[in-house]
Amino acid sequence: MNNSNNTNPRNSNWSLRVDGKTALVTGAAGGLGQSFTRCLLEAGATVIASGRRREALESLKSEFPEHANRIHVVTMDVTDEASVTEAFDTMADGVGIPDVVVSNAGVATSKKALDVTGSDWDRVVDTNLKGCWLVCNEAARRLSAMNKGGSLIMISSILGHRVAGNVAPYAAAKAGVEQLTRSFALEWARYGIRVNALAPGYIETDLNRDFFASEPGQKMIRRIPQRRLGQAEDLCGPLLLLASDYSDYMTGSTLVVDGGHLQSSL
């Protein structure tokens, strides 16, 4: 029996586009957030770039003059509930509540577990885990009140699946993000809200480039089955899949993008 539906545009056009969608990217001012913003803009979305530093967000916006009418900025501290609520109020009064949320804001610390302080723990866990909780909860609350579905994308890490030395708070937070993804997916499927995670492996950035050029960094790269670092662009396709209607039947899933690193032997 042929169940194909020729009226569905996805059957004839497999381009990963997100035209007509409004996407919020947290932590947009630096790192992967900039790449996610660019990816979504080029795929047709209206993008709300958020972060704590207004000047950095405005600088990011100026990099996309060809998309000036589809990129907006809003300041938000993901660890502060009042700041998150205020940011969503601003969005509601302006461009509208986003139907795609990329919960990307994150920080890390590199210390032995015995040297981690309470303030270190709070900074890392509050940003990476509590931030996801606050932002996605606020988005889901507003989308469900509008009877509108959406796609919430948690940025996790392969360190949510396996561990490395000197990153205990970060690994714990990312493992929490994985469970939060599944918990939200279970509860919010009835509202048409999908919640999935994207788990990058080691991605080359300005912050880690010098380390990976060193001998310890090269040794780590040799542990990756593809024998290379990921590039920010390697995350674009998986991100667009989760943001687009092609993943309508996906919720509670994690897409791992790591060059096979999780499959490397212990």
Residues labelled catalytic? 170
What token pair was written down for 146? 């509008």
Helix (H) or strand (E) holding 35: helix 32-42
DSSP letter at 258 equals S
Burial of 177 (0-12, 13-18, 19+ CB in 10 A): buried
Contact 192, 148 (CB under 8 A): yes
Beta strands in the chain (DSSP E): 22-25, 46-51, 71-75, 100-103, 150-155, 193-200, 254-257
> How many of the other CB atoms lie within 10 Å of CB of 234?
18
User: What's phi and psi for 193, nearest 5 deg?
Assistant: -105, 120
What token pair was written down for 237? 């396709």
